[in-house]
Amino acid sequence: DSGVTQTPKHLITATGQRVTLRCSPRSGDLSVYWYQQSLDQGLQFLIHYYNGEERAKGNILERFSAQQFPDLHSELNLSSLELGDSALYFCASSVEHEQFFGPGTRLTVL
């Protein structure tokens, strides 16, 4: 158990819908990273937050957005969903150079 929690574990929705994925980092970790894992693209970095501020953006679509709240949990919002958004979404929290990954949310878009 990494200490990082993600909810929900599974999410099934339809094209065009909007969903919110939630991540709670390890106690005391200020950084949260979001990654997407798909068969086509492998593991790709989406976005990084540090203590409530956006630090870096990767291959994140404009339909996707994220935020980190004062209690340090983070949410990833995915809208206007397409079939190709079906993937495993991980968050990770870090201390210095080591990232601890949550169990992921498996999103299926039908």
Q: Which of 56, 69, 77, 108 is close enough to bind other proteins by CB under 8 A?
A: 56
Distances (CA, A) of 76 to 32, 45, 49, 96, 101: 11, 13, 11, 23, 15
Nearer to other proteins, 42 or 70 (CB): 42
When binding is defined by CB under 8 A, the residue of 31, 78, 85, 87 that contacts other proteins is: 31
Helix (H) or strand (E) holding 88: strand 87-95
Indicate which single residue of 19, 102, 107, 109 sits in contact with other proteins (rule: CB under 8 A): 102
By CB under 8 A, name the binding residues for other proteins: 2, 4, 31, 33, 35, 42-45, 48, 50, 56, 58, 90, 92, 94, 96-104
